[in-house]
Amino acid sequence: KNMPLMVGRVDIEQNVFIGAKALILPGIKIGEGSVVGAGSVVTKDVEPWSVVGGNPAKFIKKRVIQG
């Protein structure tokens, strides 16, 4: 009763991978090509082509695709 439902938009761009049981708060933008680690709690926007993880989610490294 005392905890209202939080509703908001979450923007997930293309080529993003979100691990199992990750929690993304309302109003967050996940940049293109990013990876969110399993079980992470995302409280801030995620920059494009980066890897984040933890609680709260923190930047781990830039994601580089070698071709």
- Quote the CA–CA distance of 1 and 38 in Å, as a whole number: 29
- Residues 58 and 64: their CA atoms lie apart, in Å, by 18
Number of H helices, E strands in the chain: 0, 8
Tell if the pTM clears 0.85, that is, is over it.
Answer: yes
- Structure confidence by residue, pLDDT tens digits, 23-62: 999 999 999 999 999 999 999 999 999 999 999 999 999 9
pLDDT mean over 15-27: 97
Is residue 17 within 8 A of residue 35, CB to CB? The reply is yes
Quick one: pLDDT band at residue 5, thresholds 50, 70, 90?
Answer: confident
Q: Report whether 29 contacts 45 (CB < 8 A).
A: yes
What values do phi and psi take at 10, rounded to 5?
Answer: -120, 120
